[in-house]
Amino acid sequence: MQIDAQVKSISDINQFFIVPDYQREYVWKANDQVKQFITDIDNAFETSNNDSSYYLGSVIIVKKQDNYDVIDGQQRLTTIVLTLCALKDFLESITRTESAENFYNAIKSWLSTFNMKTASHQNRVELQYEESQNYLSYLIHKKEYKGKVTPSIQKMQAAYDAMYEYVASLNNERQEHLVDFIAFFFNKIVLVFIVSADLHGALKIFETSNQRGASLDAMDLVKNLIFSEANEKDFPDIKAKWKIVVGNIHACKEGENPLRFLRYFLMARYCDNGILREEDIYKWIISEGEPLINYKNKPIEFVNALLSASERYSKLVNATSLVDHHQTYPAVVNIGYINKYMSRQHLLLLLALDVNCEDEVINYLAKQLETLFFVNNTLGIQAKYNENNFSIWVQYFRGLKTIEQVKVAVEKTIAKYITKKAAEFKQTLLTKRHDAFNPLYRLRYILGTLENKAAELCNMPLKDHGFIQNLQVEHILPQTPKADVIPEAYGADYLEYSSQVYMLGNVTLLESQINQAVNNFNDLSADWFKQKQSEYKNSALVLSKMLDVEFSIGKNTSTNQFIHDYNYAFNEWKKEQIHQRQQVLLNLALLSWTINGQRIDQYKFTDEDEQRKNIDQVTIEIFSVHDKFHRTLILSGFC
């Protein structure tokens, strides 16, 4: 591979450069990379002497007819052009000294030269990618731009504005100071131009010199790796598909961290060795991942896989982030509520499913994952353990297309895991405080799910997310008793009283107007609970409405049957009733969050040996936590 390295100051640059259309658009931000660019150059200028130079970085190029294609360094080159445009325009706006006039003409000649062969102006740097919309040429020739303003153009304009402001500040001291800076910029700033004989060689140089695996650079490494293995005739197709991949990532607001998508994609489809860290992505791809991905022999197929995965990833992220409440993936939306809207770990298993599987298959698996997250959240299991498990389980779900196939995989993984924790889950939920399910949208979702299960059992209408999330969380036993007076029947002291107030069984969802009405019913020495009951019956929520002991509908109805079966009738409200209602909520939870349609505490495995093994394990766990649970109930005042 023939390589030629040349060290050049800006004034020595005599080549003309093209940034090919498959390269990344201009992404430097004015308050980040551009600001750092200005700071570094200003520091170098202020401390410079006649012998010192400032190294700006390297640019990888390949000869193409009369010009050079830029493979790496386009951000630096574009920023240099923007700086010179700012210098040119500022000098044009002031009365120039002779020295400033000479530099003004030199800048114009450097930016664009009349090509006698083509009888047209040739710009020093031409941006061919679509997002540029030829904006740089308009800026060079100071023409009004009236085209589409892309994000790339916005960043170029912001960079130009920052440069112009910096240039103006130099002139504020004296014009000679500005002239000195221009001389420094032209003659003392140097770049190393690495010239390769062909594109594949240039891409290989880029690959080996940029194995940093950080931020957007790692995505560029993968992109250029694909281009280095593909035929040039396929470049337009790859470029178009890559643009869609990037667009999909931006569509779910993950553009600042595209490596999260890349990491989950690789773990979901190819990696069998556990968790793949972002910093190890590129190294893994070119080593042990190479025969699995087969990007050398089938680069187009790899791009197609990225494309299809990015489409699913974008939709799933939006559903999880509660941005998209459509009914395609309702269980994924639910995960956003139950496991926080910034959670992403579940995407690993959902991306593993066959690229052409139906949405209902994705949603089915998401429903099982929702149960897992609810159990883990209840038990206080940290999120990092989910990813550990998922990185192992992913092999069971890879390429599955039907719900029946998913059921089998769920039984071998999620069901096996959860059934072992069923006893501990039940015991924990019975003593759970409601604030353990913060943030508030999660608590509302959990209470709303239990409400809908009760409504389903009572043959009453279900409530959607919009309705549930607009409700208020009502503490039945009031948070602030009137005059802070707590009768002995409600606890020996404020600490004991408070422990009852914040139990999950003591909260219910309520419409805001009704909640306002019951707020004043807090005199524990009076008939406060009956006063509240008279308002609860006005609620549209089953579990709140039925807190009124006199509430009933007809005879032998499903509602009355529910009240009877679940012992959901309360004449008073003390710690015994709170525990009684918490038991009801537990039963509703076991009916709401199931695995393969079965309660997690009654799950029957298809494989009898596996079933017997899990039963034995659960029995051991029941005995091991029995004493601890009994002590917890005593301390909580329930025994």
pLDDT digits (tens, 9 = 90+) for 45-68: 988 776 778 898 888 888 888 889
* pLDDT value for 456: 97
Degrees (nearest 5) of the Cα angle 19, 195, 66? 60
Classify the phi-psi angles of 191: left when phi > 0, otherwise alpha if psi is within -120 to 50, otherwise beta. beta
User: Which runs of E-coded beta strand occur in 179-268?
Assistant: 189-196
pLDDT tens for each residue of 201-227 = 666 666 666 544 334 456 777 887 888
Determine the distance from the C-alpha atom of residue 370 to the mean position of all C-alpha atoms in its chain, rounded to a whole number.
18
Residues 330, 363: Cα–Cα separation, whole Å = 7
- Among 396, 390, 394, which Cα is nearest to 408's? 396
Residue 614 has pLDDT above 70, yes or no: no
Residues in the chain: 639
What are the φ/ψ torsions at residue 64 (nearest 5 degrees)?
Answer: -145, 100
* pLDDT value for 626: 46
- Among 502, 509, 374, which Cα is nearest to 434's? 502
What are the φ/ψ torsions at residue 429 (nearest 5 degrees)?
Answer: -65, -30
Instruction: Label residues 484-493 b or e (16+ Cβ within 10 Å = b).
Output: eebeeebbee
Residue 356 has pLDDT above 60, yes or no: yes
* pLDDT value for 383: 79
Sheet containing 67-72: which strands, arranged edge to edge? 3-9, 189-196, 54-64, 67-72, 17-19, 125-127
* pLDDT value for 46: 86
Could you say which DSSP state residue 598 is in?
A: B
Could you say which DSSP state residue 97 is in?
A: P
What are the φ/ψ torsions at residue 344 (nearest 5 degrees)?
Answer: -135, -10
What mean pLDDT is predicted for residues 262-281? 90
pLDDT tens for each residue of 324-346 = 566 789 999 999 999 988 889 99
* pLDDT value for 213: 37
Higher pLDDT, 230 or 635: 230
Residue 629 has pLDDT above 60, yes or no: no
- Residue 420, CB half-sphere, CA atoms under 13 Å: how many? 10
Q: Residue 441: CB partners within 8 Å, gap ≥ 6?
A: 337, 341, 469
Residues 573, 116: Cα–Cα separation, whole Å = 94
Handedness of CA 415, 420, 426, 428 (dihedral sign): negative
Class of residue 403 by CB neighbours under 10 A (exposed 0-12, middle 13-18, buried 19+): middle
Residue 506 has pLDDT above 70, yes or no: yes
Residues 281, 223: Cα–Cα separation, whole Å = 13
Residues 220, 22: Cα–Cα separation, whole Å = 11
Contact 27, 258 (CB under 8 A): no
Residues 340, 362: Cα–Cα separation, whole Å = 19
- Among 183, 219, 144, which Cα is nearest to 50's? 183
* pLDDT value for 218: 61
Residue 428 has pLDDT above 80, yes or no: yes
Residue 440 three-state SS: helix
Q: What is the overall mean pLDDT for the chain?
A: 88
Contact 162, 34 (CB under 8 A): yes
How far CA 112 is from CA of 11, 14, 15, 69, in Å, comes to: 13, 11, 11, 17
Residues 615, 481: Cα–Cα separation, whole Å = 46
Residue 433 three-state SS: strand
What mean pLDDT is predicted for residues 458-469? 94
What are the φ/ψ torsions at residue 259 (nearest 5 degrees)?
Answer: -70, -25
Q: At what angle do helices 384-397 and 258-269 cross, to 10 degrees?
A: 50
User: How many CB atoms sit inside 10 A of residue 556's CB?
Assistant: 6
Contact 257, 298 (CB under 8 A): no
pLDDT tens for each residue of 521-572 = 999 999 999 999 999 999 999 999 999 998 888 888 999 999 999 999 999 9
Residue 305 has pLDDT above 50, yes or no: yes
Model-level pTM? Answer: 0.75
Residue 74 has pLDDT above 60, yes or no: yes
